[in-house]
Amino acid sequence: MNSAGIQTLLDAEREASKIVQKAREFRTKRVKEARDEAKKEIANYKSQKEEEFKKFEAEHSQGNQQAEDEANKEAEKQIQGIKEAGKKSQAGVVKNLLAAVLEAKPQPAMRA
């Protein structure tokens, strides 16, 4: 009778060990599944945010392009004005330079 009881306890212990092993395997499997699910969610969230950013960037870069075009037009106007002013006074400047070079008026140096 004693050995039958011991045998029953050993069988119960083996059964409990199998149950514990299956629980560990299930837990390990579930952790891997949860990790994979989290990776998928992260990838989806990341792609969603990247699309939102690209849309935002496209909407706002168009305004920047317009501002840049306007600034370039304004700069061209100013450059054109400077060129025209240079052309108008170019002859006078050349005349004054030639006169200064050709009609040198030497003056004695002042000593301190």
Predicted pLDDT of residue 78? 92
User: Would you say the pTM of this structure is higher than 0.85?
Assistant: no
Amino acid identity of 14? R
pLDDT of the chain, 112 residues: tens digit per residue: 678 889 999 999 999 999 999 999 999 999 999 999 999 999 999 999 999 999 988 877 776 777 788 888 999 999 998 888 888 888 888 888 888 878 877 777 777 6
Q: Count H helices, E strands: the chain?
A: 1, 0
Phi/psi for 15 (5° steps) reads -65, -45
Give, in order, the Cα–Cα distances in Å from 104 to each of 91, 97, 99: 20, 11, 8
